[in-house]
């Protein structure tokens, strides 16, 4: 039987584009043609933002506010779920950052960090999952499904660390902090990732452990990147 590490390696081998080998470090010949880099070009911005301190930078409106991401949860997803930061679904995480930016028009940027009951995230994730599967287009339901899963994970981590009160667990099962993750082996499409995300959430809600929620978050972000 294959070990988890071997299964994970098989998974990522199959996910690589055909003809692309594993990254390797090789010495670049020290010649006049390779010693010098091309001049660096900075693309001009159509709009600038003045910070009131004398500093001016190009506006980043619509590109997402990554500083609002819950990086403790994001790192757990990257490392525990994908084995590497560079293997993680960075496109999906970028879409998540855009939602954090858009949500500021309705709520304060860090409103959720004050503590939301875990069940509230589960309820909202389930609702957005159903609406996405149904094909509703009134809101970006897939990214909101992922947002609720990641918020649920970060809140759980803060409860474990004592940053937020244990009362936020509410009437969910007393959740363990670790359980061996199910590993997906194969080349998947968005619907497959979404299926695995929902299965991971279901196992977590039934008391399966934190790693199943990490698995759910990773697959939801992968589904978002594939969509």
- Quick check: is 30 in a domain? no
| Residues 13-32, mean pLDDT to the nearest whole number | 48
Half-sphere exposure of 9 (CA within 13 A, CB side): 6
Q: Which domain holds residue 96?
A: 72-227
Q: Hey, how many other C-beta atoms are within 10 angstroms of the C-beta on 172?
A: 17
Q: Report CA torsion sign: 145, 148, 152, 158.
A: positive
Tokens 């667990």 label which residue? 169
Instruction: Let me know: does 208 contact 182? Beta carbons within 8 Å.
Output: no
Band (24; pLDDT cuts 50, 70, 90): very low
For residue 201, the surrounding DSSP H or E stretch is: helix 190-205
| Residues 75-93, mean pLDDT to the nearest whole number | 89
Rounded distance between C-alpha atoms, residue 206 and residue 202, angstroms: 6
Tell me, what's the pLDDT at 83? 85
Residue 48: helix, strand or coil by DSSP?
A: strand
Nearest to 87 by CA among 201, 9, 196, 185: 9
Q: Does 188 score more than 80 pLDDT?
A: yes
- Which letter does DSSP use for residue 130 in this model? H
Rounded distance between C-alpha atoms, residue 161 and residue 96, angstroms: 24
| Residues 193-216, mean pLDDT to the nearest whole number | 91
Rounded distance between C-alpha atoms, residue 214 and residue 79, angstroms: 10
- Quick check: is 58 in a domain? no
Nearest to 204 by CA among 152, 146, 130, 128: 152
- Quick check: is 109 in a domain? yes
| Residues 158-185, mean pLDDT to the nearest whole number | 75
Tell me, what's the pLDDT at 183? 45
- Quick check: is 133 in a domain? yes
Position with higher pLDDT, 53 vs 122: 122
Nearest to 170 by CA among 152, 150, 154, 197: 152
> Which pTM value belongs to this model?
0.73
83, two tokens: 């084995």
Number of structural domains in the chain: 1
Rounded distance between C-alpha atoms, residue 222 and residue 12, angstroms: 13
Residue 24: phi and psi, rounded to 5, are -135, 155
Tokens 């199910």 label which residue? 182
Rounded distance between C-alpha atoms, residue 176 and residue 160, angstroms: 10
* Partner residues linked to 58 by β-bridges: 48
Position with higher pLDDT, 91 vs 62: 91
Across the chain, how many H-helices and E-strands are there?
Answer: 8, 2
209, two tokens: 């452990």
- Quick check: is 182 in a domain? yes
- Quick check: is 199 in a domain? yes
Tell me, what's the pLDDT at 165? 96
Position with higher pLDDT, 160 vs 10: 160
């Amino acid at each position: 039987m294959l070990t988890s590490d071997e299964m994970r390696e098989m998974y990522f081998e199959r996910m690589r584009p055909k003809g692309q080998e594993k990254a390797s470090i090789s010495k670049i010949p020290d010649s006049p043609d390779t010693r010098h880099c091309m001049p660096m070009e900075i693309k001009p911005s159509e709009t600038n933002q003045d910070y009131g301190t004398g500093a001016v930078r190009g506006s980043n409106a619509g590109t997402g506010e990554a500083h609002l991401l819950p990086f403790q949860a994001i790192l757990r997803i990257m490392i525990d779920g994908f084995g590497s930061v560079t293997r993680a679904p960075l496109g999906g995480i970028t879409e998540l950052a855009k939602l954090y930016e858009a949500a500021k028009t309705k709520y304060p940027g860090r409103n959720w960090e004050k503590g939301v009951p875990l069940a509230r995230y589960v309820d909202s994730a389930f609702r957005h999952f159903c609406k996405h599967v149904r094909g509703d287009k009134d809101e970006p339901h897939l990214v909101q499904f992922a947002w609720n899963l990641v918020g649920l994970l970060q809140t759980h981590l803060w409860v474990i660390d004592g940053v937020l009160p244990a009362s936020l667990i509410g009437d969910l099962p007393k959740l363990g902090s670790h359980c061996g993750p199910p590993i997906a082996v194969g080349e998947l499409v968005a619907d497959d990732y979404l299926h695995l995300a929902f299965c991971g959430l279901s196992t977590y809600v039934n008391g399966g452990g934190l790693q199943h929620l990490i698995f759910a978050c990773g697959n939801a972000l992968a589904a978002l990147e594939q969509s």
